Amino acid sequence: MKKTITIIGASGFLGKPLCRFFLEQGYHVKGFTRDPFHYIKLKNMNVEPIPWDGQNLNGWEKHLEETDTIINLAGENISTSYWTKKKKNHILSSRQNTGKLISKALGQIKKKPELFIQASAVGFYKTDSDEEINEQSPKGDGFLPDVVTQWESSTSDIENLGIRRIICRLGIVLGKNGGALKHMMLPFKLFIGGRLGSGNQWISWIHVEDMIHGMDFLINNPNCQGIYNFTSPFPVRNYEFAKTLGKIMKRPSFLPTPGFIIKLLMGEMGTSLLLKGQRVIPSNLIKEGFIFQYPQLEDALSGILS
């Protein structure tokens, strides 16, 4: 019997390639979306689109009863605008409220899914340290670690329902046509690329194909549960990333952007996302035996930009 997978946030940068992959694997794929335009696009992809408002139980919860695995990607983009108090509240509430609502829905349906995958972020960990960080490393301080903690805890009640729950703490996901890489490439296209600030901050990244295959790996290994870092085994410093990206794009990479400019233009968001970093290692995925297709940055960028 064909298995069903439901993706909440199916129309985003991560959701669309996940939908395509699982359709190719023979799954019946349902995609939750709030946007009527994205509803049509999902339908054209042969995904069963499910409209929902992310705020109320008004009938969409029945679709969770008819699924084997749920992947929750919902959450407002943290890098689209200045972190005002209002923006911070939206970043937190879009994650926390959605998680609690899904947990409530799963508590009301009779036939529970086998697995719930909660997207999260390596922003949980402390920054500005050269030490390797794994899944047992402690929480950092500040806005992002607090958001990630509440994001993950918003679906913790799901485990009390007897559902296997996995948390995927994502690094920077590199892929075509969107995500962080699209913004990283712009200064290089204009021949003004280079390191950001000191360039010594670590970048924990993962190729989108490894993210997809990593989730598929966990789905098909029923003994896997808990927290998994979704990053390459080989994080790089910012200056190394700039040098490699410039090499692949055949553009110079020697024009740095001073840290004070980033702080002036982007405030707390720029400091947190661009000038700080973590050296995160996917210890649990490696221990489970997952094999990365793109462990090295140069191979990953070559594959994406070729």
Question: 4-173+206-232+280-293 is classed in which CATH architecture?
Answer: 3-Layer(aba) Sandwich (3.40)
Supply the pLDDT for residue 66.
85
The pLDDT of 51-75, averaged and rounded, is 91
Alpha helix stretches (DSSP H) within 121-174: 143-153
pLDDT in tens, 161-184: 999 999 999 999 999 988 999 989
Q: Please give the single-letter amino acid code of residue 226.
A: G
Beta bridge partners of 169: 120, 229
Banded pLDDT at 197 (limits 50, 70, 90): very high
List own/partner pairs for 25-34 with CB under 8 A and 24 or more apart. 25/216, 26/2, 27/2, 27/3, 28/2, 28/3, 28/4, 29/4, 29/5, 30/4, 30/5, 30/6, 30/63, 30/67, 31/6, 31/7, 32/6, 32/7, 32/8, 32/60, 32/63, 32/74, 33/9
Supply the pLDDT for residue 76.
87
Query: What is the token pair recorded at 63?
Result: 């679709």
The pLDDT of 34-45, averaged and rounded, is 91
Angle value at C-alpha 227, between 1 and 52, nearest 5 degrees = 55
Query: What is the token pair recorded at 253?
Result: 């990479």
Nearest Cα residue to 274 out of 186, 194, 197, 178: 197
The pLDDT of 236-263, averaged and rounded, is 95
Banded pLDDT at 195 (limits 50, 70, 90): very high
pLDDT in tens, 85-94: 999 999 999 9
Decide if pLDDT at 58 tops 90. no
Banded pLDDT at 46 (limits 50, 70, 90): very high
Q: Where is average pLDDT lowest: 78-82, 140-144, 152-156, 196-200?
A: 78-82
Banded pLDDT at 36 (limits 50, 70, 90): confident
d(C-alpha 242, C-alpha 272), whole Å? 18
Banded pLDDT at 205 (limits 50, 70, 90): very high
Supply the pLDDT for residue 178.
85
Position of tokens 């194909």? 209
Beta bridge partners of 293: none
Instruction: Kindly list the domain boundaries of the chain, sorted by start residue.
Output: 4-173+206-232+280-293
Name the burial class of residue 53, with classes exposed (0-12), middle (13-18) and buried (19+) by CB atoms within 10 angstroms of its CB. Answer: exposed
β-strand pairing of 205-207 with 172-174: parallel
β-strand pairing of 202-203 with 236-237: antiparallel
The pTM is what? 0.96
Beta bridge partners of 226: 166
